[in-house]
Structure 1
Amino acid sequence: MRPSRTALLNRYREITAALTRHGLGYLVMELGLGRYLPFNRGLLRHRPREAPYTRADHLRLALEDLGPTFVKLGQVLSTRPDLVPPDWSVEFAKLQERVPPVPWNQVWLKLARELGRPPEEIFAQIEPQPLAAASIGQVHRGVLYSGEVVVVKVQRPGVYRQVQLDLEVLRSLARMAQRRLAAYDPLGLVEEFARTILDELDYTKERRNLERYAQNLADTEGVRIPRVYPQASGREVLTLEYIEGVRVDDLAGVQGYGLDPAQLAGRMARLLFRSAFGWGFFHADPHPGNFRVTPQGELVLLDFGMVGHLSRPERGRLLELVLAVVDSDAVRAADRLAELGVPIAPGQATAFRHDLERLLYQYIELPIGQMPMGDILGRFLEIVRAYQLHLPAHLSILAKTIMMAEGVGVQLDPNFHLAPLVKPLFQRIFLERLQPKQVQGRLREGALDLLALLEEGPAGLRRLLDRVERGELELRIRSDQEFLQEMRGIANGLRLSALTIALILALAGLMMAYHPPGWERWAGWVFGVGLAGVLGLGGYLLLVSWRKERP
């Protein structure tokens, strides 16, 4: 249900008031008049402090004043280093823990309504004072009647209605900014943010994310995901196992447990890379508060409201991209970026590649053990912002995750370097991708794509010809015998390639499905002869291609 016009107008007034208050501070800073209007001394209800307020400070304070939706927007922007500069990202990250808690009587009513009975019938004990309060919900410690200690995550009352209202406001603002900021696609970014925050409002989705991640980690030692208690959970309440521990970047706490900080840093980095590049399913809220360490040295992952997904082809291209960066190969890195959907305008492509080459050239002579991947990524993202490129959200969040992993690693161990951990891990993932089961899966996907192309291609070609006949498209055909000969060669190559793929799939299908009497005696010969024929045809294709490419 869309918000009423009156509600929208009232919200616009609130937003205008907040931006005016903090926009004035920003304007004063830009004009160099900060000493005459010292906001750090308490002017306009700013919190008194010694250091002057910066532009990023004012933006963060404005987001805090505007409530849960805008706080979450700032948190999301803190994970998007392709959109905001580093000082903004650092400042917005402070929004994680600066939200006033909801009074206990409102929390009690929310629990009773969501769980269908009074909280006292489910929890033997629950603490009114929250352990933490965030923009969407807050967390209370409790005890079940079974004696298990839990944390209860409760959504803030009225937050869904407020989010719906604010999203309408953001959409209207994005439509107004679309023409001036077309390179960033403001409307697309708002819709992306809307999907993120609406998913996070549904705790049943977070529960499924937790269970999936725990399943992926079933055979991994030293990593722990909190257990979910379904009988005490719902759409707006999530009850989880309480796990004692300290933040992963708490060096004193880690050493107090008698743990090796360097070993912990390496384990966390390997887990993050394995989840993204191995499973294609990774934690998308990468700040140290969501990673904890138990006294036994287990790494605990918290808050799965935001997760990232990578398809198998995306993982392959990302693997090649990271290896290209590690190898300081700018040309290959730029090609992989284009394949990943980073829109580089034709007029900018050469300059972008040269800037990337200059960046990587500075590190080309460094041994892999000394290569600062976080620094390289940070400077790469500066180039992305300079060219106003729009990275897909999962790529930007993954970049932020890598920088966070290296930053935490250096805090735990000054000699920590991410690159030596990355290359052998990626090489192992590459080898895993060559396993027969994975190859068979990719062949099956390729066969389905080829079948879809064969089914849809004629209809698409017919629609194209219809447009030509109606004069909607103009075709210019150049009479060039060399060009036509080249096109014939490409067409022949495509036909032979399609035939090779069809033979491979047919051979595999026959081997799996057709078992006549006596098959076991001569199946090996049939497979060998068929495979030799297919390989011979593939070799012929390679030979023809090689001859055509020779000068």
Structure 2
Amino acid sequence: MVTRFQRYGQIADVLIKYGFGILVEEVFPGSERLRAFKKRQKVEERSVYERIRLAIEELGPTFIKFGQITSTRRELLPPELIEELQKLQDQVAPLPYSDVLPVIREYCPNFGECFDLIEEEPCAAASLSQVHRAVLKDGSVVALKVQRPGIVDLIEIDLLILRSLADRVEMMYPDLRVYNPSGIVDEFALQIRRELDFVQDGKNAERLGRNMRDVHGVRVPKIYWNYSGTRMLTMEYVEGVRIDDVDALRKMGLLPGELAERGFYAYIKQIFIDGFFHGDPHPGNLLVTDRGSIVFLDFGIVGLLRPEKKRRFIDLLLAIVETDVDRVIDAFKHLGVSIKPEDLENVKDEIYLVLVDYRDMQIQQFDFGMALMGLTDTLRRYRIRVPPTLMLMLKVIVMVMDVGTALDPTFNFDRKIRPYITEIVVQERFSPKRVLGAGHAIAEAVDSLVALPRSIADTLQNVSEGSITLEVEKSNLAQIVDTLDHVTDKVLIGLIVAAIVVGSSLILRVSDVVLPDYITWLAIMGYAVAVVVGFYAIYHAIGYRSDGGR
């Protein structure tokens, strides 16, 4: 097994090979002088972003995964680098069957009693695992997703190195701290460790399958838990072609436009209804069977949305399609995007230009994805950090649009999203759960109103006891005294109104039992007086504010 220091050396060699020796020298002074240069390729003819991508591919699975996940952070990285990172291929040379056989034996000690056949040649190979086709004793055809031996140890070493690099970059380049390199590495570490747990992968598949069971023409492979564990996942084997292979789909007698609509609805349901969505919809993870069913594969990356986040993301999309800048800013705020007050007006101006361009060019099939990228480019220019879940959603929507356009060049996201979103909004507003939630909010508001007199009394007691300290300037003392007089008057009026309302309510509650009629009328008059005084207080407050507080 490679040690941490050996891995440092391998990483330095690869960076030097692709022309990043200066970076190695700055981050690890003296390291370039201590090791011989490998014979360089002609990297000067390639762009810096292409060389970054090539270096990442050569550095292996941890860095490939890091690049793939980082490619979703459009608000952090320049578009040219994003484009290169999206080209990262997770295809590697397969391991010999003898290397993965111990993993299979770990979960099926007597695998000859479990399987009639295991094909030694893998049908797919990736950086974390490879897949072997097999046949169970009952005749079921399955796919064995087997983790590569030693991959966990290598990834843990790489994660330690990535974290130390991030810490050193933050120390050496303080301006980059706004991008939170250490935080990005920590998020990535959490994600890749989840991907290494094939039990979680299987649970994600089953949950998605339950959510999609009523969607016509959409399937999720069945998981065989008797032959699965942390390092091996056995699932139903599905024959099909990639969803972007339009010629093959037509030869199968399928209509690409119908598939685009079906896949689009499946993701709308996952994101906006279920709040649990497949997070890596590249064409290799979406197969189409000869019967026209779309089959989802690879469930290591999923997104999870709480109900309130779903509503806010719906608000964001509606604000974009309706070119409403203020609603975009409000949705961003509730989704965890923090914009500095001094940048707010400039950010709103730039977002307005993006939305106006989108509105004016919709008739020309302007790509909705360009509007999303325009928004994230604006956030990047102002160094505004965006929560990973939001960026994952935006990435998924852009990828779904790309697949939809590949299947149907007339695919129009704006026209298709409106009826779905409108229906979802109506259903949410009038759902029993929402009504009960509104009732709960009203009850809380009533409780707060009932507690108001007590809160005012506590405040006045603190004032009388000297528990509240005010620091004032002598020049403003007269104005402050005048303001306190007005505030005291309003508090007094409020207390009187509250006392009348409470007293009248108590009288009316018992008047038909022990009190004469005139007492009831007095209580009603008390209500009337409270209403008049209340309106007077409101009028007085408005008049005071219109006079500038004088």
Same structural fold, with TM-score higher than 0.5 when normalized by the shorter chain: yes
Per-residue CA deviation, residues 501-521 of structure 1 (Å, 9 max, x unaligned), is xxxxxxxxxxxxxxxxxxxxx
Residues 1:144 and 1:323: Cα distance change in structure 2 (over 3 Å): same
2:379 maps to a residue whose letter is: V
1:120 is matched with which residue: 93, 105, 112? 112
Q: Does 1:135 align with 2:103?
A: no
Question: How far off its partner does 1:43 sit?
Answer: 6.6
Q: Does 1:395 align with 2:390?
A: yes
Alignment partners' CA distance in 2, 1:219 and 1:170? 43
Residues 1:11 and 1:360: Cα distance change in structure 2 (over 3 Å): same
1:110 is matched with which residue: 100, 103, 107? 103
Question: How far off its partner does 1:52 sit?
Answer: 4.6
Q: Which moved more, 1:378-387 or 1:240-249?
A: 378-387
Alignment partners' CA distance in 1, 2:488 and 2:425? 34
Per-residue CA deviation, residues 93-142 of structure 1 (Å, 9 max, x unaligned), is 333343222221111112112x0404333221111221111121111111
Alignment partners' CA distance in 2, 1:317 and 1:476? 42
2:78 maps to a residue whose letter is: P
Q: Does 1:280 align with 2:275?
A: yes
Residues 1:134 and 1:361: Cα distance change in structure 2 (over 3 Å): same
2:415 maps to a residue whose letter is: P
Per-residue CA deviation, residues 11-63 of structure 1 (Å, 9 max, x unaligned), is 22221111111135999xxxxxxxxxxxxxx973689xxx9533232212211
Residues 1:94 and 1:128: Cα distance change in structure 2 (over 3 Å): farther
User: Counterpart of 2:286?
Assistant: 291
Q: Does the 8 Å CA contact 2:260/2:403 hold for their aligned counterparts?
A: yes
- Residue correspondence of structure 1 range 410-489 to structure 2 within 5 A: 410-440=405-435, 442-443=437-438, 479=480
Q: Does 1:168 align with 2:160?
A: yes
Alignment partners' CA distance in 1, 2:98 and 2:118? 13
3-state SS of 1:364 partner: helix
1:321 is matched with which residue: 316, 319, 342? 316
Residues 1:450 and 1:411: Cα distance change in structure 2 (over 3 Å): same
User: Counterpart of 2:19?
Assistant: 23
Per-residue CA deviation, residues 364-403 of structure 1 (Å, 9 max, x unaligned), is 3455794521111122222222122221111111111111
Alignment partners' CA distance in 2, 1:387 and 1:367? 27
Q: Does the 8 Å CA contact 2:57/2:63 hold for their aligned counterparts?
A: yes
Residues 1:378 and 1:481: Cα distance change in structure 2 (over 3 Å): farther
Q: Does 1:81 align with 2:74?
A: yes
User: Counterpart of 1:54?
Assistant: 47
- Residue correspondence of structure 1 range 234-383 to structure 2 within 5 A: 234-366=229-361, 370-383=365-378
1:96 maps to a residue whose letter is: Q
Q: Which runs of 5+ in 2 are unaligned?
A: 24-37, 498-530
Q: Does the 8 Å CA contact 1:97/1:132 hold for their aligned counterparts?
A: no
Residues 1:447 and 1:135: Cα distance change in structure 2 (over 3 Å): farther
- Residue correspondence of structure 1 range 401-412 to structure 2 within 5 A: 401-412=396-407
User: Counterpart of 1:510?
Assistant: none
Question: How far off its partner does 1:360 sit?
Answer: 0.9
Q: Which moved more, 1:296-305 or 1:172-181?
A: 172-181
Q: Does 1:98 align with 2:94?
A: no
Residues 1:229 and 1:354: Cα distance change in structure 2 (over 3 Å): same
Question: How far off its partner does 1:344 sit?
Answer: 1.4
Q: Does the 8 Å CA contact 2:358/2:368 hold for their aligned counterparts?
A: no
Alignment partners' CA distance in 2, 1:449 and 1:8? 56
Alignment partners' CA distance in 1, 2:467 and 2:182? 34
User: Counterpart of 1:151?
Assistant: 143
Q: Does the 8 Å CA contact 1:288/1:408 hold for their aligned counterparts?
A: yes
Question: How far off its partner does 1:433 sit?
Answer: 0.8
Residues 1:208 and 1:23: Cα distance change in structure 2 (over 3 Å): same
User: Counterpart of 2:516?
Assistant: none
Q: Does the 8 Å CA contact 1:138/1:153 hold for their aligned counterparts?
A: yes
Question: How far off its partner does 1:349 sit?
Answer: 1.2
User: Counterpart of 2:522?
Assistant: none
Residues 1:425 and 1:371: Cα distance change in structure 2 (over 3 Å): farther
1:21 maps to a residue whose letter is: K
Q: Does the 8 Å CA contact 2:15/2:21 hold for their aligned counterparts?
A: no
2:341 maps to a residue whose letter is: P
Q: Does the 8 Å CA contact 1:71/1:95 hold for their aligned counterparts?
A: yes
User: Counterpart of 1:516?
Assistant: none
Residues 1:295 and 1:314: Cα distance change in structure 2 (over 3 Å): same
Question: How far off its partner does 1:214 sit?
Answer: 0.9
Q: Does the 8 Å CA contact 2:213/2:219 hold for their aligned counterparts?
A: no
Alignment partners' CA distance in 1, 2:66 and 2:359? 38
1:229 maps to a residue whose letter is: Y
Higher gyration radius (CA): 2
Alignment partners' CA distance in 2, 1:423 and 1:110? 49
User: Counterpart of 2:512?
Assistant: none
Alignment partners' CA distance in 1, 2:287 and 2:5? 43
2:47 maps to a residue whose letter is: T
Question: How far off its partner does 1:350 sit?
Answer: 1.1
Question: How far off its partner does 1:8 sit?
Answer: 2.7
Alignment partners' CA distance in 1, 2:232 and 2:128? 11
Q: Does 1:72 align with 2:65?
A: yes
2:321 maps to a residue whose letter is: V
Q: Does the 8 Å CA contact 1:111/1:237 hold for their aligned counterparts?
A: yes
User: Counterpart of 1:187?
Assistant: 182
3-state SS of 2:384 partner: coil
Residues 1:346 and 1:258: Cα distance change in structure 2 (over 3 Å): same
Alignment partners' CA distance in 1, 2:413 and 2:485? 51
Q: Does the 8 Å CA contact 1:150/1:241 hold for their aligned counterparts?
A: yes
Question: How far off its partner does 1:316 sit?
Answer: 0.8
Question: How far off its partner does 1:440 sit?
Answer: 4.7
Alignment partners' CA distance in 2, 1:370 and 1:104? 49
Per-residue CA deviation, residues 234-260 of structure 1 (Å, 9 max, x unaligned), is 111001111111111111112112111
Question: How far off its partner does 1:91 sit?
Answer: 2.7
Residues 1:117 and 1:52: Cα distance change in structure 2 (over 3 Å): same
Question: How far off its partner does 1:358 sit?
Answer: 1.1
Q: Does the 8 Å CA contact 1:270/1:422 hold for their aligned counterparts?
A: no
Alignment partners' CA distance in 2, 1:126 and 1:447? 62
Alignment partners' CA distance in 2, 1:287 and 1:400? 10
2:8 maps to a residue whose letter is: Y
2:388 maps to a residue whose letter is: A
Residues 1:476 and 1:77: Cα distance change in structure 2 (over 3 Å): farther
